Structure formats: structure tokens, C-alpha cells
Structure 1
Amino acid sequence: MENKRTIAVTGASGYIASWVVKKLLNHGHTVHATVRDLSNKEKTTHLLKQGEIHPGKLKMFEADLLEGGFKEAFLGCDSVIHIASPFLIGKVNDPQRELVDPALEGTRRVLEAVNAIETITKVVLTSSVVAMYNDAKEAQKLPEKTFTSDCWNTTASLTNQPYNYAKTVAEKEAWKMCTEQSRWTLTTIHPAFVMGPSLTTRVDGASMQFMVDTMRGQMKMGAPALSYGFVDVRDVAESHVHALEVDYTGERFISANEVMDLLEFGELVQRVTEHTEYPLPKKHLSSWLFYIAGPLRGFSMKFIRQNLGYRFSFDNRPIQEKLGVRFRSMDETFRDMVLQMERDNLI
């Protein structure tokens, strides 16, 4: 392991970032954590508790993706982990304002602040697997139907899966700004659909909301044959920490464990929780019914045609071999997640 670092983490109150802060502190590093509103106790209390466990190791700063304020937080740091970015499920009324501007302009503001602080030599950016592909059908032309770190999303747009578009253009901007200087290096981490226990009781993020909706029966009539990659939030956090502690830089790393369709996902959750009272899916939703009901749930006809019934996989060997990440079982992921949600009365 490298010498202890001073690391800035943006969006520190978020689902992934909270775990990153916790693991950095556990590894002995000093953390400068940015949040949008220091007075919002609901989003800062869990971080302050981590600071109490590690006295003098956590400093909190206020910064906003569209308003800046990152320079103060980055002073004295040698590394930055930029995680802050919107992740929304459901209808987006203004994708440019709600998704692209925070992702793209936020990345620019963060990296401009990095350029201004001469002590910073490493940057880790949280991207997503959706910066590598847009639709499952694309994998059918790839060797072994497998997405790799060489893949880029070339079909997303403001009108076609705008979240994917926002993640793609933000990452491209980061690589562009990296090539325009020589002091700091860039590594990007690309999580699949992140699951696992939260360090807060909030349900304001896509991962927790998806799980709550599922446990409350959103797919009790059947699960559409849509496949997603899943990964534990704790493993994603470890990926970020390891990216700072090893010598590999300048690479894109896929952080994905297993690919499952939504019925397999529901069956796994049912098995590991050993509960029968939750209305989880027990069969596939028929394709014709999803073509009718899908658009009412925000799925475009184009998305359904390009994703329904298609299987694929991710090449996660590089993140294991180069960063030393070891993925925990998805059984453990979902068992711990449901236990946390039950404990916090979220379901």
C-alpha cells in the first residue's frame, strides 16, 4: 500500500461515495468530503459519525457541481475521487438541465479545480458501464457477447437514454482535459447497477428506490426479460480506493460482478432473504405485455426492441488482476441490503 494520502471526495453524501469515504478512512487516509449543503443533517450525519471514529481525518466542505467551490476543498490534497453526478430513475423532464449539465459541467469544474491545485497528481472518476454501451443488443456482435473497457457508447443522446449520454460525454471530457496537461493521471471506474446496504436511511437514490419498489411488488405480475449487470456498493468503493493505492493509471475499469435478468434477480433476493411475504417476481412478464405496459413505466419502444431478451456479459478481469478487487457473492450483497432496509424500516 502507498503512503497515506489526502484525498478529496466529491458528492460524499451519496450512496457510493459514503462507502468510499468510510473505506478511505479505514485505510488510514485523510478525506476532504464535499457536499452540496453542510446544513443538511440528513445527508451529513453519517459522514460526521465516520469522522468521530477517525479523529482529525475527515474535513467537510460545501461545493456544488454547477456553482463550483471545489478549490477550497482540494487545497492540501494529492488525489481527487470525483463521484458526484445525478442518477435518476423514471421520467426526466429536462435531460439537459437535470442530467447533462451537472455531469458535464460538474466534471469540468472539478477538473479545473484540480488543474489549479498543484499538489494533486491522481484523479479517479466514477463513470458507468453505460458509458461503454447503450443497449444489450450491441453485445450480440461482440466476441462472447462481452463488453470490455475498449467499448464506448456511441448511440445515446438527449432523446435516447439521456442518463447514458450524460455519463458518456462527462467521461470523454475528463479524458480530454487529462490529455491537455501532464501533472495528474486519470483512472475511471465503471460500475454496473450498484446494490448492497446503504450507510444512510435515505431512499433518494436510484439503487435504493429500485430495491424498495421491487420489494413492494412492482414486478409481482412478472419481470420483463431485461438483463443488467449488478455489483456490490462495497466492492465499487474498494475499486476506487485500490485505484489510488496501485500504480495502474490511465485506464478504464469495469466494476461489475454478475449479469442477471430481472426474474433471476428476484429469485436470488427471494432465496437469500428466506422471506415469503415479499411480492417478488416469480415468472417472466410476457413480451407482448411489456410492449404494452413498458411505455407506461417510462421505457421507450426503441429501448424495449434493443434490450428485451438480449443477454450479455462484462469483462471484469482487469479490475481484479490490476486493482486487486475481489467481488463478494451477490447472495451476500442482497442479503445485507434487505437486512439493512428491514432494520431501517424502509420496506
Structure 2
Amino acid sequence: MPLLIDTSAPVLVTGATGYVAGWIVKALLQAGVTVHAAVRAPEDEAKTSHLRAIAEAAPGTLTLFKADLLDQGSYAQAMAGCGTVFHTASPFTLNVQDAQADLVDPAVLGTRNVLETASATPSVRRVVLTSSVAAIYGDNADIASAPGGRLDESVWNTTSSLTHNPYSYSKTKAEQAAWEMAQAQAQWDLVVVNPSLVIGPALQARPTSESFSVLRQMASGRMKAGAPRWGIGCVDVRDLAQAHLAAAYLPEAEGRNIVSAVDTDFVQMAATLLPSYGAAYPLPRKALPKWLVWLIAPLARMSRQSVTRNVDVPFRADNTKAVKALGLSYRPLAESMTDMFAQMIESGQIAKR
């Protein structure tokens, strides 16, 4: 049954120029929704032109608003009259100098900023928060203590900190803050989407998500000798966008929702690219032994603790709830990877061979 999307009230999408947000905006505009897109620099054509182009070809309407996670109250104008808020804005980077300032503050304070504005905006009835499986676990070694040895929505990340997996720590603290605020009021309800590593093509020419760094490393030859068998989950960005719409418009949607298509690892991910690109690019074809990954970890800007707790340790997550409750179906890993790789070549992120 097709999802019934209410077009009677505008919706707000925070961080609308982001990788995931772009596909959410596109799906909303194609459904005829009026989208209020909150971005840091609406006047920056390089960052917003793809959204304007999508809007021109869609029945929905796009309006850009200036807002910033750390600017208290800056989302008020963009949120006025909106029935639904998609809060996607949050930094996703692994190379930080100051974890508190670069990751935790924008994630936590930004979430509080947006949700405080939601509580002050009478029209808001639902908030969809883009969290992460990083708020559920810190390292693959943690999964052994999950129910049945598989992550589900009842599990919280308790092992990350400012010094170990700070990105995961920021996502955990931000989601916890969101639930505390949601439970303290009765005007709007909160639905959380917890995706694994997001892959698939981007709508903008130069996306900044760390997902693209992984493929660039695979294509560059840095992993020619092999890749670590680092267990990870993946989901296509297009399927994730549909999960967000279902979270917003299905009345029965609730709680946390693990959105992850496949349990995999870097070696298996690279293997999906070999049939189409193996002859032209020095893609990894085998797994590096864990002892070697541990030895060279500092040279690759990895901690040896992370290697110990993640390499050769499988990722396992139960995606049953979201599949059933949100009506999801997932693209195969190979389709997502090849579409992403092709788009990165086309946009110049990976050199043509």
C-alpha cells in the first residue's frame, strides 16, 4: 500500500544540504509537499543549487531559511506553521581536533535548540530525528552482550566517550537528550531513525559524509594490499529517505527504528565493485590479517583499541521492527555500491581511469 503523505502543512528539514537530507527533500517535493529547508548559508549556490533544481522539477515548493544548530531560536521562522520536523542536521566526521566542540556540542545543543523551538511552535505534531546505530553500540565487541547477540532498539551505547568513538558518543547524547525532551511534553511525538552506514549516490556534487571517504580510499589504491574485515551495517540513502517519510506520515510509527539493509564488512563491500570496476581500479580483493591492521593502526589514524574491538568481529543488527512498522524494502548492497561509485566518478570525486 502506498504511503499517504499529507501535503496540507509544510514540513521543516534541518541540515537540508546534507547527504541524507537531500534525498528526504527530494522525496517530499516529488510528493507535492511544501518544504522549509533550514541551512547555514541559503545564499551559497554551490551548496543549495541541487535543491533548487529538484524543486523546479517537482510539484512541491521549496523555501530556504537560514539557521544554525548553535544559534538559539534560529529555527523559529523556518518552523512556523510546520506540522512535521525532520531533524537531520548533525556533524558526521571522524577527523576532529576537539570532540566536544566539533561533535558533541553541535549534536546535543543543536537537538535541544530544534526541539525547544518545536515545543514553542503550536503547529508541530511530529518530530523525526535522524540518529544512528552509533547511539545503539560503540564497537562490534559490544554486540555480544546485546539480546541474542544482535543489536535491537532496546540497546544503548554505553562504551563510547569523548576519547573513544567520539562521533558515536555525540549521537548517543543527542538522542538521549531528544527522548528526555519528548517525554517532558505532550504536544508532539518523537520517532527516531537509527541508520547504519549510509551508502548510495549523492544529489550534490561534493558530499562531505564519511561514507564517501571509504570509497575514495578503496579506489585510490590505499587498500590495494587488502582491507580490514571491519564488521559494519549498510543502508542505501534512497531507502533511508523512504524510512524517514514513513516515520513522519505513518500514524503508528513510534520509538527507535534500526534502518540497516545488510550486515557486512569492508572486504565484502569492495567485492561488490569488482565485476564493474576491478579491472580499472586497485580495489581491495582480500582481507588483511588482524595482527597487521593492529600493527599499522596508528599510521592509518586508527586506535589499536578500535582494531581489537571491531576487526574480525561481525556486525549483527535486527532490522525487523523498522521493516514491518515502516514498510521498508532494501536495495541489494551491490546496487547501492555500484551506483555510488559511478556517481563519484561522474562528479569527479574519483578519478576516471
Alpha-carbon shift at residue 170 of structure 1 (Å)? 0.3
Contact 1:186 1:249 in 2 (8 A): no
Question: 2-side partners of 1:304 and 1:242: how far apart?
Answer: 36
Bigger shift: residues 170-179 or 284-293:
284-293
Counterpart in the other structure of 1:346:
349
Instruction: Output aligned runs, 1:28-43, within 5 Å.
Output: 28-43=32-47
Question: 1-side partners of 2:215 and 2:31: how far apart?
Answer: 30
Alpha-carbon shift at residue 55 of structure 1 (Å)? 5.7
Question: 1-side partners of 2:87 and 2:260: how far apart?
Answer: 19
Bigger shift: residues 173-182 or 283-292:
283-292
Instruction: Output aligned runs, 1:1-347, within 5 Å.
Output: 1-4=4-7, 5-54=9-58, 57-68=61-72, 69-89=74-94, 91-271=95-275, 273-347=276-350
Contact 2:33 2:60 in 1 (8 A): no
Alpha-carbon shift at residue 248 of structure 1 (Å)? 2.2
Contact 1:82 1:110 in 2 (8 A): yes
Question: 1-side partners of 2:71 and 2:271: how far apart?
Answer: 44
Alpha-carbon shift at residue 144 of structure 1 (Å)? 4.2
SS in 1 for 2:129: strand
Bigger shift: residues 112-121 or 218-227:
218-227
Contact 1:230 1:256 in 2 (8 A): yes
Bigger shift: residues 114-123 or 335-344:
335-344
Bigger shift: residues 202-211 or 152-161:
202-211
Contact 1:127 1:190 in 2 (8 A): yes
For structure 1, the 5+ residue unaligned runs are: none
Alpha-carbon shift at residue 203 of structure 1 (Å)? 4.0
Contact 2:29 2:60 in 1 (8 A): no
1:6 is matched by which residue type in structure 2?
P
Question: 1-side partners of 2:49 and 2:317: how far apart?
Answer: 36
Alpha-carbon shift at residue 262 of structure 1 (Å)? 1.2
**Could you say what the CA RMSD is over the residues aligned between the two structures, in angstroms?**
1.4
TM-score using structure 2 length: 0.95
1:341 is matched by which residue type in structure 2?
M
Residues 180, 142 of structure 1: CA spacing in aligned structure 2 closer, same or farther, 3 A cutoff? closer
Residues 194, 109 of structure 1: CA spacing in aligned structure 2 closer, same or farther, 3 A cutoff? same
Contact 1:263 1:283 in 2 (8 A): yes
Question: 2-side partners of 1:22 and 1:217: how far apart?
Answer: 34
SS in 2 for 1:84: coil
Alpha-carbon shift at residue 143 of structure 1 (Å)? 4.4
Alpha-carbon shift at residue 218 of structure 1 (Å)? 2.2
Contact 1:140 1:312 in 2 (8 A): no
1:102 is matched by which residue type in structure 2?
P
TM-score using structure 1 length: 0.96
Question: 1-side partners of 2:156 and 2:146: how far apart?
Answer: 13
Question: 2-side partners of 1:64 and 1:304: how far apart?
Answer: 35
For structure 2, the 5+ residue unaligned runs are: none
SS in 2 for 1:313: coil
Contact 1:38 1:62 in 2 (8 A): yes
1:297 is matched by which residue type in structure 2?
A
Contact 2:190 2:254 in 1 (8 A): yes
Question: 2-side partners of 1:192 and 1:243: how far apart?
Answer: 16
Cα deviation, 1:36-85, whole Å, max 9, x if unaligned, reads 11121111000011121236611110101111410000011001000000
Alpha-carbon shift at residue 280 of structure 1 (Å)? 0.8
Identity over aligned residues, as a percent? 39
Residues 201, 2 of structure 1: CA spacing in aligned structure 2 closer, same or farther, 3 A cutoff? closer
Question: 2-side partners of 1:335 and 1:224: how far apart?
Answer: 20
Contact 2:191 2:255 in 1 (8 A): yes
Bigger shift: residues 14-23 or 133-142:
133-142
The size of the alignment, in residue pairs, is: 345
Contact 1:82 1:125 in 2 (8 A): yes
Question: 1-side partners of 2:277 and 2:148: how far apart?
Answer: 34
Alpha-carbon shift at residue 138 of structure 1 (Å)? 1.5
Cα deviation, 1:186-235, whole Å, max 9, x if unaligned, reads 00001100000000110422112221222112211111121110110001
Question: 2-side partners of 1:3 and 1:201: how far apart?
Answer: 31
2:321 is matched by which residue type in structure 1?
P
Residues 30, 203 of structure 1: CA spacing in aligned structure 2 closer, same or farther, 3 A cutoff? closer
Contact 1:203 1:209 in 2 (8 A): no
SS in 1 for 2:91: coil
